[in-house]
Amino acid sequence: MNMPFTMPALAPIMPEIMLVCVALILIIVDLLYPRNRELLSLFTLFAGVGLIALLFKQQPASTFGNMFIVDPYSIFFKVICLLGMLMTTLLSGRYLEIEKIRNGEYYSLMMFSVVGMMIMVSGADLIVIYLGLELMALSVYCLVGLLKDDVRANEASIKYFLMGGFSSAILLFGISLLYGMTGTTDLAGIAKYCSETGIMSNPALITGFALVISGFCFKVAAAPFHFWTPDIYQGAPTSITAFMSVAPKAAGFAVFGRFLMVGFPELHPQWGTIIGFIALLSMAVGNIIALSQTNIKRMLAYSSIAHAGYALLGLLSGTSEGYSATMTYMFIYAFMNMGAFAIVILLCSKGNRRESLEDYKGLAKSNPIAALLMLIFMFSLTGIPPTAGFIGKFYLLKSALAAGYTYTVLIAVIFSAISAYFYLRLVRYMYMEDPSEEFVVQYSPGLTAALALSTIGVLGMGIIPGTVLNIASKSLIGF
Amino acid sequence: MFNQILFLYCALVIISTGLLAVRFKNPVYSVLSVLVLFFHMAGLYLILNAEFLAAIQVIVYAGAILVLYLFVMFLVNLRQELKVERFIASHRVSAITSAALGICLLAIIPSFKLGAKGAYPVERIQQLTHTKAMGFELYSTFILPFEIAGLILLIAVIGGLVLARKEREEGCNPGTDTCEVKK
């Protein structure tokens, strides 16, 4: 029997292929020039900037039998992931030196994980989404364990690996149920089959759906699937924590959104309630437990759980207004969180990581610029105007309110007010306490660039808020 | 009817050996119970007319991967189970949660309805032979997932190397005995 085969179009997947090539070249470069570490970060920066430029030129298309879709929605999230990679690269240079991480594979692994994210974001088939997710997660597991002498880092890596494997199993079980019920793994195909046969309210289908949602919630660190977050954020190398809190989270939300919007639009009344519950629980857990933290990385971990809750408010409404609010929020969150982590890395020095909140006491006296920047990022994370955080939260709450979730919005505002306590406590420490130890931070070119980029992002989007939201809402046309 | 009995037998053995693999204190016993599990997985594939997968399951998993596990076991001389602090303090909470999830999953079984048939019903596979059908599908329809899976294996190799490699102090040549290896 003769089987026809046509070569699928490769143009839509070109950015991913190129990133894989660069990542492989980096490994060879590291082998040939083992002493030249700057070369690797320069390569990564160029690759990131080049790919972002390439992504803006990409036309909407689909390839591999509609398994891989390039649309403005996926391009938007790919840009966030690449931005996360760029900023992490800028942050990494000095941090790697201090912590004596000399692995040339650091940047390659980061790139592979971004490739995984880009595949996830573009995947329209559950198999592709799952494999992209594994590619992303596997690279991050390795990155988390890079501080081999540090017991906490080892614990974090093993925990992340086990919990990640477990959540993948749950996700896969959900996918297998969906596949068994509908006979397809294509998201659009699932939606079509379900609306044609009317099995939407079948308990088995809903269970499969719920299991997949649980898997995604694990990836975006939403409660009650958040237990891994604090330990792993604290144990991982700080630059990787910054990366993890931005890029994989954005990719997770992209898949989450596509799954809900393309796969199960008709189930909205049911999943609206579930997502609302998860969002509120995440905000409660994140904001309340963060109050009692004394380690800045741990505090930011709980804050990241709370922010996952806020971002879910946009998905909750199920409207394109809500989705564009979530997209805008992930974009803004990338800048403000990267900025906060840049300050954490800035304070870190050889033999003294200065990760305790106590270390921030009196920072304004010894290092006024660092304190001022941290103040801006903390204001933005709290959601105080004129920073971008306020704009992001405003759109999210507005979209949820427009969709009729009045009480959810009310509780979200209350939790947001609670969060002000621990963000502003850091500001009080910096400005109103006496320093326990005098030290002057040293800026490196990379850190300065990262700080400048995130400050411009946070203030720029706070003062001129329309642009990103416009792009986000435009990218939803035709969804 | 015969198929159903065979399936039930395989499923029961898979579940029980899976549980045993986790419960055994001696790691060698665990590996051996996983071996039994893999053979019964191959049996399941045979029931589904997937003889190629069944052969691969036996050759690759039972033949290669498990032997590798056993080698590692012998090399690190792991007589006793490693005692690790529990990740989650309360055993009861996890037991209740998993029991609830288990009951939920059992409760939905009656409402499970098989979805649309794919392009490969049993007759077609029998006529085409399974190996050929799978080879064709893998390299045409599912070429993208196949390639991504290849990339995942590459990451596994790189990641394994990165994490297992010993860090050396600066200014010493790898390979010389005098080189001080940093723990």
HEC sequence for B56-122? HHHHHHHHHHHHHHHHHHHHHCCCCCCCCCCCCCCHHHHHHHHHHHHHHHHHCHHHCCCCCCCCCCH
Give the separation between CA B18 and CA B39, rounded to whole angstroms.
12
DSSP B174: T
The verdict on B75 and B1 lying in the same domain is: yes
Give the separation between CA B121 and CA A430, rounded to whole angstroms.
69
Report pLDDT for B82: 62
Nearest C-alpha of chain A: how many angstroms from B19?
A: 16
Those residues with Cβ within 8 angstroms of residue A297's Cβ, 6 or more apart along the chain or in another chain: A233, A234, A238, A241, A344, A355
Q: State yes or no: pLDDT of B175 exceeds 50.
A: no
Cα-based distances in Å from A94 to A11, A89, A429, A447, B119: 37, 10, 26, 8, 55
Provide the residue range defining the domain that includes B127: 121-169
Q: State yes or no: pLDDT of B178 exceeds 60.
A: no
Smallest Cα–Cα separation from A392: which of A309, A333, A317? A333
pTM: 0.91
Q: State yes or no: pLDDT of B157 exceeds 80.
A: yes
CA angle A340, A459, A246 (to 5 degrees): 40
Domain membership flag for residue B8 = yes
Question: Per-residue pLDDT tens for A121-140?
Answer: 999 999 999 999 999 999 99
Helix (H, G, I), strand (E, B) or coil at B168: strand
Q: Roughly what angle, to the nearest 10 degrees, separates helices A406-432 and A388-402?
A: 170
Domain membership flag for residue B91 = no
Smallest Cα–Cα separation from A215: which of A170, A161, A254, A253? A170
Report pLDDT for B181: 39
Report pLDDT for A217: 93
Report pLDDT for A196: 87
Confidence bin at B43 (pLDDT 50/70/90): very high
Nearest C-alpha of chain A: how many angstroms from B7?
A: 17
Smallest Cα–Cα separation from A396: which of A301, A331, A302, A447? A331
Domain membership flag for residue B96 = no
The verdict on B3 and B76 lying in the same domain is: yes
> In the predicted model, what is the mean pLDDT of chain A?
89
Report pLDDT for A105: 85
Domain membership flag for residue B93 = no
Asked if A65 reaches chain B (Cβ–Cβ under 8 Å), the answer is yes
The verdict on B73 and B25 lying in the same domain is: yes
Check if the beta carbon of residue A243 is closer than 8 Å to that of residue A338: no
The verdict on B77 and B7 lying in the same domain is: yes
Q: What CATH number should be reported for the domain holding residue B50?
A: 1.20.120.1200
CA B175 distance to own-chain centroid: 36
Domain membership flag for residue B178 = no
- A203 and B107 in contact by Cβ < 8 A? yes
Question: Per-residue pLDDT tens for B72-108?
Answer: 888 876 665 566 666 566 778 888 988 999 999 999 8
Q: Which residues of B lie closer than 8 Å to A, measured between beta carbons?
A: 87-88, 104-105, 107-109, 111-118, 128, 136, 139-145, 148-149, 151-152, 154-156, 158-159, 161-163, 167, 182-183
Domain membership flag for residue B7 = yes
Give the separation between CA A350 and CA A352, rounded to whole angstroms.
6
Express as a percent the part of chain B with pLDDT over 90: 36
DSSP B177: T
Q: State yes or no: pLDDT of B150 exceeds 90.
A: yes
DSSP B182: P
Where along chain A do its domains lie? 12-474
The verdict on B62 and B133 lying in the same domain is: no
Structural domain ending residue among the three candidates B81, B113, B130: B81
Quote the number of domains for chain B.
2
Domain membership flag for residue B154 = yes
Chain B residues lying within 8 Å of A146, measured CB to CB: 162
Helix (H, G, I), strand (E, B) or coil at B172: coil
Stretches where chain A sits below pLDDT 70 are 1-4, 103, 477-479
Domain membership flag for residue B99 = no
